[in-house]
Amino acid sequence: MKKQFIYILLSFLFIGNLSAQQTPAPKQSKKIAIVGATAHIGDGNVIENSLIEFSNGKITFIGKASDKTPEGEVMNYNGKHIYPGFIAANTSLGLAEIDAVRATRDFDEVGGYLPHIRSIIAYNAESKVVESMRPNGVLMAQVAPRGGTISGTSTIVQFDAWNWEDAILKLDDGIHINWPSSFSRGRWWLGEDPALKPNKNYSKAVDRITSYIERAQKYLSGNRSPKDLPFEAMDKLINGNQKLFVHVTGEKPITDVINNCKKLGIKNLVLVNAEGAEKVTDLIKSNNVSVILRRSHRLPNSEDDDYDLPYRMAKILSEKGIVVALGMEGEMERMNTRNLPFYAGTYAAYGLGKEEAVKLITSNAAKILGVDDKVGTLSVGKDATLFVSEGDALDMRTNIILNAFIQGRKISLETHQTKLWKRYANKYKNQ
């Protein structure tokens, strides 16, 4: 019986190794030049018939193909399109693999106030779900925790790594708070009216959050004894070296978040999801607050909202001068993150424009997440994290990735999904 158990265990390990993510690509060893493609810089500008050169993982030249003779290994992509690697903000990628299997879910810790919980510790660099992002050009993400009032700390990662340490682009970039709703629904299973009504506990819930931050400030300004790990984890936030991501919905809650953070002296504030932000754009802009919107393919939050308001939100906020990025929180968020460019494409179709929509998932996302010195645009000195597409990367019909690089490393675009597609395509082709 013991031997039989050992054989079964070994067979599972063997099968697991066969289906694991591809081995990370080797470090770039020679200069590469991509010639002829239309370069979408990521800041709104476009270069036709471009030349991009990169060496040792960094971009060394970008301009027109006529500006200089290409050096190194030359890749001709006339008529194709090149983009910076897309960045998914506010995801739980790598923190869960199969939603129906509890043992694979590690995005929500027990407790309500957990600023010391670090999502990166649980990040699985070999996730098959993470692997499936790359064929659509999604090469980086902010991995954020979920649950509780203060969920914990997020980290920015790239998608070609042996382990979570190798994946890090920016460690512990911000703390995430779930702000209470000013409305609530009755618990129908207890016979309560399920209709939406004012949340009578809203003010108390807000007071608990502000009181917690005030106690952290008092602790950090004192002798810090006895040591309090949750308060210690808020040191960078209180000192202005870390961002606060507040997940909030509704005009009043958004107003309360901004006003309370101003009173508490918290400068680096980002609103996440922020449904209702279109009603308080002047307040958001005047306080230099950025916004990470929910994905565009959803229903309006209120029955009084225009049916297409979710599609127009990026345009409304961007026209007011607010820096906007695109997040993925919601149902099946990890699997749906692969559709990030197509959500941006919907915003483009509803008035934002294609190059402005590209900014949502490149330069704007990089700026909000604090990694714009490394990624987000095709610029000299930044990481050579980019990809070449057959056509418009925001259109699922033409976003066919021909080549992709992360920090200059040429990565594989094969996944378990592409293998299955090829397998069954050949089956039916031969019949």
The answer to whether residue 397 scores a pLDDT higher than 60 is yes
- Chain-centroid distance of CA 427 in Å reads 36
Find where tokens 């590209």 sit: 358
The Cα 109–Cα 87 span in angstroms is 25
User: With 90 as the cut, is the pLDDT of residue 320 above it?
Assistant: yes
User: What confidence category does residue 3 fall into, taking pLDDT thresholds of 50, 70 and 90?
Assistant: low
- In angstroms, rounded to a whole number, what is the distance separating the alpha carbons of residues 292 and 159? 21
Cβ atoms of 272 and 290 within 8 Å: the answer is no
pLDDT at position 19 over 60: no
Domain shared by 326 and 252, yes or no: yes
**Residues 74 and 105 occupy one common structural domain:** no
Q: Residue 308: which pLDDT band, with cuts at 50, 70 and 90?
A: very high
Single pTM value for the model: 0.92
Q: Tell me, yes or no, whether 285 and 264 share the same domain.
A: yes
pLDDT in tens, 184-214: 877 778 777 777 888 899 999 999 999 999 9
Q: What is the pLDDT of residue 10?
A: 46
Lowest-confidence pick of 213-217, 258-262, 330-334: 330-334
Alpha carbon distance 260, 399 (integer Å): 43
Q: Is 261 among the domain residues?
A: yes
Token pair 């006003």 in the structure block, residue = 259
Neighbours of 148 (CB within 10 A): 19
Q: How many other C-beta atoms are found inside a 10 Å radius of the C-beta of residue 2? A: 6
Same domain? 189 vs 318: yes
Residues 210, 321 within the same domain: yes
CATH number of the domain encompassing residue 354: 3.20.20.140
Is residue 16 domain-resident?
no
* Residue 49: half-sphere exposure toward Cβ, Cα within 13 Å: 5
Q: Name the domain count of the chain.
A: 2
10 within a domain of the structure (yes/no): no
Question: Which of the four pLDDT bands, split at 50, 70 and 90, describes residue 361?
Answer: very high
Q: What is the 3-state secondary structure (H, E, C) of the chain?
A: CHHHHHHHHHHHHHHHHHCCCCCCCCCCCCCEEEECCEEECCCCCEECCEEEEEECCEEEEEEECCCCCCCCEEEECCCCEEEECEEEEEECCCCECCCCCHHHECCCCCCCECCCCEHHHHCCCCCHHHHCCHHHCEEEEEECCCCCCEEEEEEEEECCCCCHHHHEEEEEEEEEEECCCCEEECCHHHCCCCCEEECCCHHHHHHHHHHHHHHHHHHHHCCCCCCCHHHHCCHHHHCCCCEEEEEEECHHHHHHHHHHHHHHCCCCEEEEEEECHHHCHHHHHHCCCEEEECCCCCCCCCCCCCCCHHHHHHHHHHHCCCCEEEECCCCCHHHHHHHHHHHHHHHHHHHHCHHHHHHHCCHHHHHHHCCCCCCCCCCCCCECCEEEECCCCCCCCCCCEEEEEECCEECCCCCHHHHHHHHHHHHHHCC
Question: How far is C-alpha 152 from the geometric centre of its chain's CA atoms?
Answer: 16
**37 pLDDT exceeds 90?**
yes
Assigned domain for 152 exists: yes
Q: CA 222 → CA 190, 218, 276, distances in Å? A: 47, 6, 39
Is-contact 244 267, C-beta < 8 A?
Answer: no
Tell me the pLDDT tens digit for each residue of 242-276. Answer: 999 999 999 999 999 999 999 999 989 999 999 99
- Does 239 share its domain with 289? yes
CA 98, CA 11: separation in Å to the nearest integer? 21
Measured between alpha carbons, how far is 48 from 39 in angstroms, rounded to an integer?
Answer: 6
Specify whether 126 is located in the same domain as 70. no
Q: Is there a domain that residue 431 lies in?
A: no
Indicate whether 150 and 38 sit together in one domain.
no
Same domain, 242 and 316: yes
- Is residue 423 situated within a structural domain? no
Residue 89 to residue 326: CA distance in whole angstroms:
6
Residue 49 and residue 65 in contact, taking contact as beta carbons nearer than 8 Å = yes
| Domain CATH for 36 | 2.30.40.10
Domain span at 369: 86-375
Q: Tell me: cis bond preceding 226? Omega within 30 of 0 counts.
A: yes
Q: Are residues 56 and 178 in the same domain?
A: no
CA distances from 404 to 42, 133, 411 (A): 16, 12, 6
Estimate to the nearest angstrom the gap between the alpha carbon of 243 and the chain centroid.
Answer: 15
Contact predicate 368/292, CB 8 Å: yes
Which segment of 2-16, 160-174, 369-383 scores lowest on mean pLDDT? 2-16
Give yes or no for residue 13 having a pLDDT over 60.
no
CA–CA distance, 326 with 347 (Å, rounded to integer): 10
Per-residue pLDDT, 11: 46
CA 181 to CA 143: how far, in whole Å?
24
Shared domain check, 72 and 198: no
CA 330, 331, 333, 339 dihedral sign is negative
Is there a contact between 42 and 378 (Cβ–Cβ < 8 Å)? yes
Q: Which two tokens stand for residue 221?
A: 């300004």
Could you tell me which residues are beta bridge partners of residue 198? 183
- 362 with 399, same domain: the answer is no
Q: Of 369, 428, 132, 371, nearest to 245 (Cα)?
A: 369
The reply to whether 170 falls in a domain is yes
Whether 50 maps to a domain, the answer reads yes
